[in-house]
Chain A
Amino acid sequence: MQFPEELKYTKDHEWIRLDGDMAVVGITDHAQNELGDIVYVDVTTVGESLSMNDVFGSVEAVKTVSDLFLPVTGEILELNPVLDGAPETVNNDPYGAGWMIRMQLSDPSELDGLMSAEEYKQFIGA
């Protein structure tokens, strides 16, 4: 199980990587492992501005469906186009090619409230 140091983590098992005043969001290695084979990433909020912890989409695995929560407030800019034809990319590379959305942050200071890699690792008992 991987926990990249440069990411921030949420209790809902999303990660966020800051890139200037923009950020990339995905789900953690732990999350994809719990879900099993991911067959559909359903995001219909591109172009919308949402608040921290709002649902921005859903991730559908073979057995189950799970809401996706926005780690911080901002505008959804883009859904990873790779996921349309290859949703399994989330299983194979959750922190890399399997990223889910790009977003514009409203208030970067919200990141301070999220977990570090070490804190998330403890949170899930890994």
Chain B
Amino acid sequence: MKTIPLHDLHVQLGAKMVPFAGFVMPVRYTSDLDEHHAVRNSVGVFDVSHMGEFVLRGPQALDLIQKVSANDASVLYDGKVQYSYLPNADGGVVDDLLVYRHHADEYMLVVNASNIEKDWDWIMSHNTEGVEMENISDQMCLFAVQGPKAIATLQKLTEIDVAAMEYYTFQTGSLGGIEGVILSATGYTGAGGFEVYVEKEKAQVIWEAIFEAGAEFGIKPIGLGARDTLRLEKGFCLYGNDISDTTSPLEAGLGWVTKFTKPFINSDALKVQKEQGIARKLVGFEMIDRGIPRSHYELCDAGGNVIGEVTSGTQSPTLQKGIGMGYVQKEYSQPGAELFVKVRERLLKAQVIKLPFVK
């Protein structure tokens, strides 16, 4: 089990530390609900330094990225970020990731903690272009500063015009007196905000500067518990739950980042799947009966016949009702479709809705 660089600080802050994706991570500091609402209504900071970062350099870096990822990275420009995924050769997903373009010949890939080794080996095995690859995961800290007061918080710490930054762009500059920090207008909460990449030696200085700047907004440290409810309210996929080595990206709704305008790993088979149509689909649903869906619960029709499975579920802190995502047979995937979640041998009524749950 690995620890993140600011582990001791989180313990001092009262975090409950739990194993997650091979790391000991803060799951909550005070209350999942308080932390959730702090991000939706003001600002909170997640230490997500478990995430992995790879730097790819060289004139053929783009060629390698185009080959291993399904989105079209050729549309990126310096300072632009793109959501994408790595298809495997068998119809599933190796990982989902963010692609950052520093320069035409230098990119950064940000991958899930649980997949760092797998992704590295996978990309390396396809690196016939001789692209220089560097795994900087252990050198970097990543803080997600999320919520409507994130801009006002971070603006106090930098000359970068934070409010002017467009969604899915980034700048490298000075933050809280530390040079070379990457400020990225991205996040996994749908609450607005930024992600801050900083070398681990400078991380505590940045963390403290952010908390000082956000004090007037009641800034809080936020654990992985609230991270999960926040992302689920927005219908964002979680690798390992909603997408995996064996789930089709098209069934998962990742068609929008699947660009058949260029060849990539398994693109021929995925194209056939797209043309033939998918048999099941990842949908969002909300509970009509009282109950809380959880991953691996069965989804059924009114007669109790199994039509799918829950991949993520919780009680939405914002909506105060059970929400979930899961794969269902296509005929049950339309918004408004009625389905039943099997909770402790009871069939509880739910309804498919168009994502996100929380606008």
- A residues whose Cβ falls under 8 Å from a Cβ of B: 36-37, 39-40, 42, 44, 58, 60-63, 65
Contact = CB atoms under 8 A, between A and B. Distances in A.
B294 A65 contact: yes
A58 B315 CA distance: 14
Interface residues of B, number: 18
Given A62-B315, A65-B292, 5 more contacts: A36-B32, A40-B292, A62-B317, A63-B27, A65-B294
B31 A37 contact: yes
B314 A37 contact: no
A39 B315 CA distance: 7
Contacts of B344: 42, 58
A3 to B, nearest CB: 20
A36 B31 contact: yes
B240 to A, nearest CB: 15
B31 A63 contact: no
Nearest to B313: A65
Nearest to B18: A63
A40 B229 CA distance: 16
Contacts of A63: 27, 32, 225, 228, 314
A39 B292 contact: yes
20 contacts: A36-B28, A36-B31, A36-B225, A39-B33, A39-B315, A40-B291, A40-B292, A58-B344, A60-B315, A62-B32, A62-B33, A62-B225, A62-B229, A62-B314, A62-B315, A62-B317, A63-B27, A63-B32, A63-B314, A65-B294
A34 to B, nearest CB: 8
Interface string B327-352: 00000000000000000101000000
Nearest to B320: A39
Nearest to B34: A37
A63 B227 CA distance: 11
Interface centre among B28, B33, B291 (most CB of A within 10 A): B33
Contacts of A39: 33, 292, 315
Contacts of B31: 36-37
A60 B292 contact: yes
A41 to B, nearest CB: 11
Nearest to B317: A62
A39 B323 CA distance: 13
A20 to B, nearest CB: 32
A40 B228 CA distance: 18
Contacts of B314: 62-63
Contacts of B359: none
Nearest to A33: B16
A44 B344 CA distance: 11
A37 B291 contact: no
Interface string B295-330: 000000000000000000011010000000000000
Contacts of B346: 44
A113 B27 CA distance: 35
B43 to A, nearest CB: 20
Contacts of A58: 344
A81 to B, nearest CB: 15
A39 B291 CA distance: 10
Interface in B223-245: 225, 228-229
B50 to A, nearest CB: 17
Given A62-B225, A63-B27, A37 B33 contact: yes
A39 B314 CA distance: 10
Nearest to A84: B290
Nearest to A55: B344
A105 B31 CA distance: 35
Contacts of B292: 39-40, 60, 65
Contacts of B28: 36
A66 B36 CA distance: 22
